[in-house]
């Protein structure tokens, strides 16, 4: 039966595998047209709201483009300005630091909790809802609460003064503490999404395979390493890729929690773009910074996609 | 029956070109006729839109009543309020002004007037034509809404920066309440005595008006010289260093968090700090929030006396307005005695029109408020800002926090701000 099925869909002899079967060409073309019709709204949206602004931003980035006043062609001057600007270099470093701290922490916390909340835990669904609540709560509300925790005279500082008679660090006013504070708040706020992705993936791991491994003498760690892990790698790849992209674009948490301060200790690239564009009304510099971010994200995502062949298993 | 690939490519190119052209057209601004869609009509008859920052539905209702004064005074003129929250207002209005599609009447804050002046209509000719008397308004804020000697907006509120203080804490600590003419030495001594038991004598956060007012009273230095940023001037550095010492060395004020613009008010209202520098626009609102007796005093006097800055807001006309005469008449009505007195009596901002002051002092009900604000006004000048003041203000807060908390030397903070924003000022 399997042989027959293979025969019907196999390419005719003499054509490379994956080539278009000559006999089905008109039908495929018809399908293609239908596909085109269905895709058209998305493509128009993509062209209007993504491709065109992206191309326009590239054009603007080559100009001194104030909101008021005359525009002047600068070539790559905005880019050289950014490269030589210590503030922008710090902003890129901050963004990288956020990604390096946030992505592994997010994945470890969400995967750890998903594994912990295995099928045998009572009240599993209630925990799932509980862990997802921070994702659903408006970011502004979350940040306001964390601000009250972190600020001088806040809950942590007040508690430490009452119990130990010492002040807590000035979490949001110290360059050393501000970024860890932003990362901690972000992990708490954001792990729920990946937690759900991993929970769903873990539910798909066949119980029979885990039992077979157990009968063969594999302990819990070995079962996770050699059975569970390979089967959830596609989900881990998806989660890390998406988390990486969104964390490079981080804005709301530092914007509300620290406004990028103290100094520029927690300012990220998107905040820099926002400030230059919408606060300081210098669109050229904002567009150039936006393109720098675009190239960074595109590069890292490409590396991830090429690298996935080494560790992601789609065939298990 | 099926299109050839080349033909399909042509279709694809044509489609993408159409999309791109549509998008270009959509982003292309107005048709060059020089006008917005707003304000069609004549000098006596026009339907105008007024863009302004508002805080909520109650705010919208209060300000729409102000707008309705235009219709009461001029039957053919209507003004419709288009309210936006403060944070979104400036990016929105910037885009509208740049595209030539801004409403006729624009709310304008004195500290941002220089940034937006090129898109606003100078009002001097209209003021002469319709007989607006500048002497009816507080002088510092009339001057604060001028750019290069031209009036850009007519003020509705104003106010010099003054000290708000917690009278209960002063009494409990046995510290004499401040009076007009009190000195920096007296202020520091009082703040030291008030700093005890988890409370501080002062709370401060390095905002533009606060920093510049403290620096001005301590050394007389101004942030600009000939319209350009001049923060590395020796006198300014000296004043800023003394200001940073409130937190860093003297510890009469608490460490400052990075991102909470309401920190000062929160600490003061909660009774955790005995004093803060603030504007009269916040006085009645603060009085409603606190659970202690509120007092106000002028900023302490430095070597050359008490010196502070005034800020405020008003209404101007966009250059793209087709009916500037009607818009100006509407603004005259909106800043006339009746609506400003009504706003004052309702406990809103300190009015810029002198005739409306008594209603505001009655609503405030704070002993010595008139004496203090009159004294502070006499000793204040408008804070003149640079074109990129929003950036300067942002950087001042960013690096000011680090300087106050002792992370970087004050002169380094000012040098960084000067390096970042000096060229664009």
CATH number of the domain enclosing B411: 3.40.190.10
The residue written with tokens 């860093």 in the block is B248
Question: E strands within A17-69?
Answer: 63-64
Tokens of B353: 């029109």
Closest by alpha carbon to B60, among B81, B89, B44, B31? B81
Among B94, B116, B394, whose Cβ lies nearest the Cβ of A275? B394
| Structural element, H or E, at residue B272 | none
User: Could you tell me which chain A residue has the CA closest to the CA of B392?
Assistant: A280
- Enumerate the residues of chain B whose CB falls inside 8 A of the CB of residue A175: 402, 407
User: Could you tell me which chain A residue has the CA closest to the CA of B388?
Assistant: A280
B25 assigned to some structural domain: no
Q: Is the dihedral of CA B132, B134, B135, B141 positive or negative?
A: positive
Q: How many CB atoms lie within 10 A of CB B85?
A: 12
| Structural element, H or E, at residue A92 | helix A86-116
Residues B194 and B88 in one domain: no
CB contact under 8 A, A275 and B401: no
Mutate to test the interface with B, among A29, A39, A151 (most CBs of B within 10 A): A151
Residues B349 and B213 in one domain: no
Residues on A contacting B at a C-beta cutoff of 8 Å:
26, 29, 44, 47-48, 52, 56, 67-69, 87, 147, 150-153, 161, 170-175, 178, 254-266, 275, 278-282
Tokens of B287: 């009085």
Are the CB atoms for B320 and B34 separated by under 8 Å? yes
B21 assigned to some structural domain: no
Confidence band of A262 (pLDDT split at 50, 70, 90): very high
End-to-end CA distance of chain A: 23
How far apart are the C-alpha atoms of A241 and B388, rounded to whole Å?
Answer: 39
| Structural element, H or E, at residue B318 | none
pLDDT tens by residue, A84-135: 999 999 999 999 999 999 999 999 999 999 998 876 778 888 988 999 999 9
Report for A141-145, A295-299, B7-11, B87-91: range of highest mean pLDDT = A295-299
What pLDDT, on the 0 to 100 scale, is given for residue B349?
87
B378 assigned to some structural domain: no
Closest by alpha carbon to B102, among B37, B54, B155, B151? B37
Are the CB atoms for A21 and A14 separated by under 8 Å? no
Confidence band of A313 (pLDDT split at 50, 70, 90): confident
The whole-number average pLDDT for the span A207-224 is: 92
CB contact under 8 A, A170 and B407: no
Considering chain B, what is the average pLDDT of its residues?
Answer: 90
* Minimal CA separation from A222 to chain B, in Å: 46
SS3 of B274, please? strand
Among A44, A152, A254, whose Cβ lies nearest the Cβ of B257? A152
How far apart are the C-alpha atoms of A137 and A193, rounded to whole Å?
Answer: 12
Considering chain A, what is the average pLDDT of its residues?
Answer: 88
Residues B203 and B135 in one domain: no
Among B115, B118, B267, whose Cβ lies nearest the Cβ of A153? B267
pLDDT tens by residue, B236-289: 999 999 999 999 999 999 999 887 888 999 999 999 999 999 999 999 999 999
Are the CB atoms for B292 and B366 separated by under 8 Å? no
* Minimal CA separation from A128 to chain B, in Å: 32
What pLDDT, on the 0 to 100 scale, is given for residue B38?
57
What pLDDT, on the 0 to 100 scale, is given for residue B40?
57
Number of domains in chain B: 2
∠ CA(A98), CA(A101), CA(A106), 5° rounding?
Answer: 105
CB contact under 8 A, A68 and B98: yes
Residues B295 and B317 in one domain: no
Domain of residue B294, residue span: 162-310+388-421
Among B95, B116, B257, whose Cβ lies nearest the Cβ of A173? B257
- C-alpha B11: how far from its chain's center? 54
Closest by alpha carbon to A186, among A142, A236, A242? A142
Tokens of A151: 């600020």
Mutate to test the interface with A, among B20, B256, B259 (most CBs of A within 10 A): B259
- Enumerate the residues of chain B whose CB falls inside 8 A of the CB of residue A41: none
Confidence band of A13 (pLDDT split at 50, 70, 90): very low
Q: Is the pLDDT of residue A9 over 50?
A: no
CB contact under 8 A, A259 and B398: yes
Instruction: Give the CB-side neighbour count of residue B366, counting CA atoms within 13 A.
Output: 25
Contacts of A300 (CB under 8 A, 6+ apart): A244, A248
How far apart are the C-alpha atoms of A190 and A242, rounded to whole Å?
Answer: 12
Closest by alpha carbon to B256, among B244, B274, B239, B241? B244
What pLDDT, on the 0 to 100 scale, is given for residue B51?
96
Domains of chain A: 72-311 (1.10.3720.10)
Our CA dihedral for B238, B239, B240, B244, rounded to 10 degrees, sits at: 100
Q: Is the pLDDT of residue A265 over 50?
A: yes
* Minimal CA separation from A45 to chain B, in Å: 10
Global confidence as pTM: 0.82
Mutate to test the interface with B, among A152, A155, A182 (most CBs of B within 10 A): A152
What pLDDT, on the 0 to 100 scale, is given for residue A161?
86
Residues B67 and B184 in one domain: no
Among A48, A69, A151, whose Cβ lies nearest the Cβ of B257? A151
What pLDDT, on the 0 to 100 scale, is given for residue B13?
53
Q: Strand B313-317: give its sheet, edge to edge.
A: B77-84, B46-53, B105-109, B313-317, B153-157
Residues B304 and B205 in one domain: yes
B209 assigned to some structural domain: yes
Are the CB atoms for B318 and B97 separated by under 8 Å? yes
Q: Is the pLDDT of residue A221 over 80?
A: yes
- Cα distances (angstroms) measured from residue B265 to each of A89, B187, B269, B282: 34, 19, 6, 10
pLDDT tens by residue, A18-70: 444 445 566 777 788 889 899 999 999 999 999 999 999 999 999 999 887 78
Residues B76 and B151 in one domain: yes
Our CA dihedral for B36, B40, B46, B47, rounded to 10 degrees, sits at: -60
Q: Is the dihedral of CA B121, B122, B125, B128 positive or negative?
A: positive
- Cα distances (angstroms) measured from residue B374 to each of B187, B253, B360: 20, 27, 13
The residue written with tokens 């009076």 in the block is B179
A123: left (phi over 0), alpha (psi -120 to 50) or beta: left
CB contact under 8 A, A47 and B16: yes
Among B95, B254, B401, whose Cβ lies nearest the Cβ of A262? B401
Peptide bond into A262 cis (omega under 30): yes
CB contact under 8 A, A29 and B23: no
- Cα distances (angstroms) measured from residue A254 to each of A185, B102, B244: 10, 32, 24
How far apart are the C-alpha atoms of B10 and B293, rounded to whole Å?
Answer: 78
Instruction: Give the CB-side neighbour count of residue B134, counting CA atoms within 13 A.
Output: 16
B7 assigned to some structural domain: no
ipTM comes to 0.77
What pLDDT, on the 0 to 100 scale, is given for residue B37?
44
List, for chain B, all residue ranges whose pLDDT scores fall below the cut of 50: 1-4, 17-37
Residues B400 and B283 in one domain: yes
Mutate to test the interface with A, among B258, B387, B389, B425 (most CBs of A within 10 A): B258
B329 assigned to some structural domain: yes
What pLDDT, on the 0 to 100 scale, is given for residue B41?
62
What pLDDT, on the 0 to 100 scale, is given for residue B55?
83
Chain A with chain B: Cβ pairs closer than 8 A: 121
* Minimal CA separation from A278 to chain B, in Å: 5
- Enumerate the residues of chain B whose CB falls inside 8 A of the CB of residue A68: 94, 97-98, 115-116, 118-119
- Cα distances (angstroms) measured from residue B268 to each of A208, B164, B200, B291, B365: 64, 9, 10, 11, 19
CB contact under 8 A, B405 and A147: no
Residues B169 and B139 in one domain: no
What pLDDT, on the 0 to 100 scale, is given for residue B77?
96
Residues B300 and B318 in one domain: no
B417 assigned to some structural domain: yes
What pLDDT, on the 0 to 100 scale, is given for residue A152?
84
Q: Is the dihedral of CA B373, B376, B380, B385 positive or negative?
A: negative
- Enumerate the residues of chain B whose CB falls inside 8 A of the CB of residue A47: 16, 19-20, 23
B51 phi/psi in degrees, rounded to 5: -95, 130
What pLDDT, on the 0 to 100 scale, is given for residue B141?
95
B382 assigned to some structural domain: no
What pLDDT, on the 0 to 100 scale, is given for residue B12?
54
Contacts of B200 (CB under 8 A, 6+ apart): B191, B194, B251, B252, B253, B254, B267, B272, B273, B274
Are the CB atoms for B256 and B405 separated by under 8 Å? yes
Residues B180 and B105 in one domain: no
Mutate to test the interface with A, among B117, B195, B197, B257 (most CBs of A within 10 A): B257
Q: Which segment of A1-5, A134-138, A156-160 scores lowest on mean pLDDT?
A: A1-5
End-to-end CA distance of chain B: 65
Are the CB atoms for B203 and B364 separated by under 8 Å? no
Residues B204 and B331 in one domain: no
């Amino acid at each position: 039966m399997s042989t027959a099925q293979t025969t019907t869909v196999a390419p005719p002899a003499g054509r490379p595998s994956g080539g278009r079967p000559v006999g089905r060409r008109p039908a495929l073309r018809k399908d293609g047209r239908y596909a085109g019709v269905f895709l058209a709204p998305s493509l128009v949206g993509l062209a209007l709201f993504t491709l065109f602004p992206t191309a326009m931003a590239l054009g603007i980035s080559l100009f001194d483009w104030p909101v008021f006043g005359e525009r002047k062609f600068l070539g790559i001057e905005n880019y050289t300005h950014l490269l030589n600007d210590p503030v922008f270099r710090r902003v890129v470093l901050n963004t990288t630091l956020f990604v390096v701290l946030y992505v592994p922490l997010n994945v470890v916390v969400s995967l750890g909790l998903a594994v912990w909340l295995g099928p045998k835990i009572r009240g599993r669904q209630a925990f799932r809802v509980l862990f997802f609540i921070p994702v659903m709560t408006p970011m502004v509300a979350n940040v306001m609460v964390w601000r009250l925790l972190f600020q001088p005279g806040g809950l942590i500082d007040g508690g430490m003064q009452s119990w130990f008679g010492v002040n807590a660090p000035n979490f949001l006013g110290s360059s050393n503490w501000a970024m860890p504070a932003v990362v901690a708040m972000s992990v708490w706020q954001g792990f729920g999404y990946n937690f759900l992705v991993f929970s769903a993936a873990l539910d798909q791991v066949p119980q029979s395979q885990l039992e077979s491994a157990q009968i063969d003498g594999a302990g819990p760690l070995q079962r996770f390493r050699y059975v569970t892990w390979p089967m959830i790698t596609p989900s881990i790849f998806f989660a890390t890729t998406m988390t990486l992209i969104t964390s490079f674009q981080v804005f709301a948490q530092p914007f509300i929690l620290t406004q990028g301060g103290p100094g520029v200790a927690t300012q990220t690239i998107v905040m820099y773009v926002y400030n230059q564009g919408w606060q300081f009304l210098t669109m050229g510099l904002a567009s150039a910074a936006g393109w720098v971010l675009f190239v960074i994200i595109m590069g890292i995502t490409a590396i991830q996609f090429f690298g996935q062949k080494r560790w992601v298993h789609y065939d298990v | 029956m099926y299109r050839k690939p080349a033909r399909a490519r042509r279709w694809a190119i044509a489609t993408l070109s159409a999309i791109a052209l549509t998008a270009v057209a959509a982003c292309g601004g107005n048709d060059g006729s020089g006008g917005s869609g707003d304000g069609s009509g004549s000098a006596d008859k026009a339907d105008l839109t007024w863009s302004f920052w508002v805080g909520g539905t109650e705010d919208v209702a209060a300000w729409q009543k102000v707008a309705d004064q235009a219709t009461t005074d001029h039957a053919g003129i209507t003004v419709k309020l288009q309210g936006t929250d403060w944070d979104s207002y400036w990016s929105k209005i910037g885009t509208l002004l740049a595209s030539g599609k801004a409403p006729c009447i624009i709310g304008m804050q004195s500290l941002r007037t220089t940034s937006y002046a090129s898109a606003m209509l100078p009002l001097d000719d209209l003021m002469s034509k319709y007989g607006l008397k500048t002497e009816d308004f507080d002088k510092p804020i009339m001057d604060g809404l001028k750019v290069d000697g031209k009036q850009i907006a007519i003020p509705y509120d104003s106010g010099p920066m003054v000290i708000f203080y917690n009278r209960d804490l002063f009494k409990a600590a046995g510290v004499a309440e401040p009076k007009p003419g009190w000195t920096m030495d007296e202020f520091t001594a009082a703040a030291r005595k008030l700093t005890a038991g988890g409370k501080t004598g002062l709370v401060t956060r390095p905002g533009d008006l606060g920093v510049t007012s403290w620096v001005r009273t301590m050394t007389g230095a101004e942030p600009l010289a000939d319209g350009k940023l001049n923060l590395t001037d020796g006198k300014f550095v000296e004043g800023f260093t003394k200001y940073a010492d409130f937190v860093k060395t003297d510890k009469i004020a608490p460490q400052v968090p990075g991102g909470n613009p309401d920190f000062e008010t929160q600490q003061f209202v909660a009774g955790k700090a005995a004093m803060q520098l603030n504007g009269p626009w916040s006085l009645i609102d603060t009085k409603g929030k606190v659970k202690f007796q509120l007092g106000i005093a002028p900023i302490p006097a430095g070597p050359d006396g008490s010196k502070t800055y005034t800020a405020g807001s008003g209404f101007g006309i966009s250059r793209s307005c087709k009916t500037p005469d009607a818009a100006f008449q509407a603004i005259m009505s909106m800043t006339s005695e009746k609506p400003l007195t009504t706003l004052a009596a309702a406990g809103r901002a300190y009015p810029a029109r002198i005739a409306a002051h008594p209603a505001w002092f009655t609503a405030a009900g704070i002993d010595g408020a008139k004496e203090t604000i009159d004294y502070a006004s006499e000793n204040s000048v408008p804070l003149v800002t640079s074109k990129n003041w929003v950036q300067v203000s942002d950087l001042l807060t960013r690096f000011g926090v680090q300087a106050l908390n002792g992370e970087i030397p004050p002169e380094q903070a000012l040098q960084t701000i000067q390096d970042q924003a000096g060229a664009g000022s």
